[in-house]
Chains A and B, each alone.
Chain A
């Protein structure tokens, strides 16, 4: 019952959050300087031309009127037309979403792997130079922002030792048999490991740039939780039973220590998706973030609204999923 109550409550707050995000983004981007019509005015345009263009794109109405029209459209699945791409906003954002999700998930997997391994290693080797080295590495990883990691990776693995691709998502000359835009997943399903390898070769550097700071956070938090758990009685008991240190850490301590890390990973995942905006730009990756920057530069208001709303949906969705997962994994909540 507790889980259902939590679910209903979170669904309600998610809806309110989305409405709030929609209202804020709609009004804020109309208040900040930068008028899309002024940007496309040709030299010599007259007042009539300006009026005609303004009406053509629906900006001749009052902002509340524009909001009502837009909100009505959104409720019926019509997010409007992009001013620059002249395509339905929904098609554009849904077309790019898989690329961003795959990149974010890849970054998350890398971060969890690196962070998890270093936390377990640091716990096992606590008090040694290895733990000190892990702490120093974590500090460095956290003190450098992801876009700077991106630049470093471009220079090291793109220029000095050109092993990986530094732009794009896939080699343009390849013929793609995909039915969806989830290229990475579909390449595995279709057993096209040549395409999978090409995709990974493109995605690895941007994913790594996104993953490094998150890996350090995971590593630090998990190591701290594990350390605290290692002093608990049941862990001592398992040691007295003769289990090895690796078994004690992974089988006994980890299941309890992982809960705070799980919550953090969920929260950080939303930040990670936000981080794709800069990283996708740097690596010319064809995701939502890259599109968002272009939309802002061009003051493509309908597209900005669509992207922000989708980001808000992802953020609230991920938070909801984490909360539910937490409720499922946490015995106190599960049996309440």
Chain B
């Protein structure tokens, strides 16, 4: 077909027709559009698998309030609870509920709602996966705007769980009126945004709640599109179809951060290698050699474009028990020496399997490939097995992981119990290290009432773990976020992308 004036005009007309069909524009950001990396399967933030999925907590926190507010640096702040604490002998807890807060249907949020939410979470039939934490409190009751409960079993982290997984205040009267299905269809919370429209697997449209008790969000309307493919997310923000997106390959982030606003801040997720106390991993020389042979900083610089923070314990610098004096040096000569002491050498390497995911976390497989390459240089021959994350969970729960297994661990409250504790305490279903010495060291810390002593205790545990190489911490992840010029995003160290923390400018 010849390109004539007529065909050119016809083409232009067709283009104009499509242009008016509703493609978003960045000219005036009245409605903020976020391309989010995961779907939201369910609206109740306290039950089912979604409740313990860290990647969707940001969506929940836009609509629901947690008992205690968590600031972007992971520190707690007054939220629905303005004050909280234990009585002197720590047999009771008390919580003061903020007055003047309303649910999205206009009804008042009361101490009764808080007490009911806590009791519901503690009920084993509710489907709350964290039920075992909430059930350490019992006999919930209210006095005015104070909620009190008896401590059935002292847990020093109970208030930290109030800004962690499933720690949400739910509307008692509304929930009882509409039931679980009704709530799923029309959820209400007391958070900064109300649910305006929700299409499963597609998007959620939020409207700012005019009577929100906290700082009013800057954007009146926010559409969160669920764009699970990283390439599509980059295309969304690059084309202007979305204003904000997150979790793209670091190379793409570097390519676009000049054209768009970019922020890349460390979050509470870490990459680590579980060592299972089976086979050759029972030999401390092998474990220590494996730890000393890894050049973490070079891996971060070369593979992750510098986006990562080297760590030597399961604590990141933002965590409560972080101790910068605990280090594990990159020392290949020492690794060779340690292996030689156990009869291994380059000619007679120690052999074991290492399991890893591929594409579940940024460069996970490539990082393990690099580590295996570094190990080979000192006399460790590791065979890589790629598995799905679901298989990892199953193997870990059954304590049948390979001698080494790569994983990422999230701990957005920064407490040592929810990092070192659950990852390394033998009886925990998440730990594959069953050494009695470590169990004996950790056990008393679960119920330690003196906070200073507790943190020091965990630091000692971390030191033992590092010295004996019972796990190999690798890096703290950095979360890349891209936003359109004209939108500023405040990153949250938990990794939650919160529209209420986004501003114009």
Contacts and interface: CB of A to CB of B under 8 A. Distances in A.
Contacts of B44: 86
Nearest to B50: A84
Given A43-B418, A86-B48, A34 B241 contact: no
Nearest to B38: A294
B428 interface: yes
A44 B124 contact: no
Give the interface size bracket for A toward B. Answer: 35 or more
B129 A87 contact: no
Interface in B386-404: 387-388, 390-391, 393-398
A154 B35 CA distance: 15
Interface stretch (A2-10, A47-55, A64-72, A102-110): A47-55
Give the interface size bracket for B toward A. Answer: 35 or more
Interface stretch (A166-174, A307-315, A323-331): A166-174
A42 B165 CA distance: 9
A255 to B, nearest CB: 28
Given A83-B49, A85-B200, A56 B235 contact: no
A135 interface: no
Contacts of A53: 129
A81 to B, nearest CB: 10
A15 interface: no
B418 A151 contact: no
Contact of A201 (B18, B124, B231, B393): B18
Contacts of B52: 40-42
A51 to B, nearest CB: 11
A72 B47 CA distance: 27
Contacts of B236: 158, 166-167
Contact of B180 (A86, A165, A299): A86
A286 B200 contact: yes
B457 interface: no
A197 interface: yes
Given A33-B394, A294-B41, A92 B200 contact: yes
Nearest to B425: A44
A282 interface: yes
B19 A284 contact: no
Given A38-B393, A299-B390, A166 B239 contact: yes
Given A34-B394, A38-B397, A84-B42, 10 more contacts: A34-B391, A39-B49, A41-B52, A44-B422, A87-B181, A163-B23, A164-B23, A167-B225, A201-B22, A284-B202
Interface of B: 15, 17-19, 21-24, 31, 35, 39, 41-42, 44, 47-50, 52, 124, 127, 129-133, 165, 180-181, 184, 197, 199-203, 205, 221, 223, 225-229, 231-232, 235-236, 238-241, 387-388, 390-391, 393-398, 417-418, 421-423, 427-430
27 contacts: A33-B387, A34-B391, A35-B394, A36-B49, A38-B429, A43-B422, A43-B430, A44-B133, A44-B417, A52-B131, A86-B41, A87-B184, A154-B232, A158-B241, A162-B239, A166-B239, A168-B203, A169-B199, A172-B197, A172-B225, A173-B223, A283-B232, A284-B228, A290-B201, A290-B228, A294-B201, A298-B41
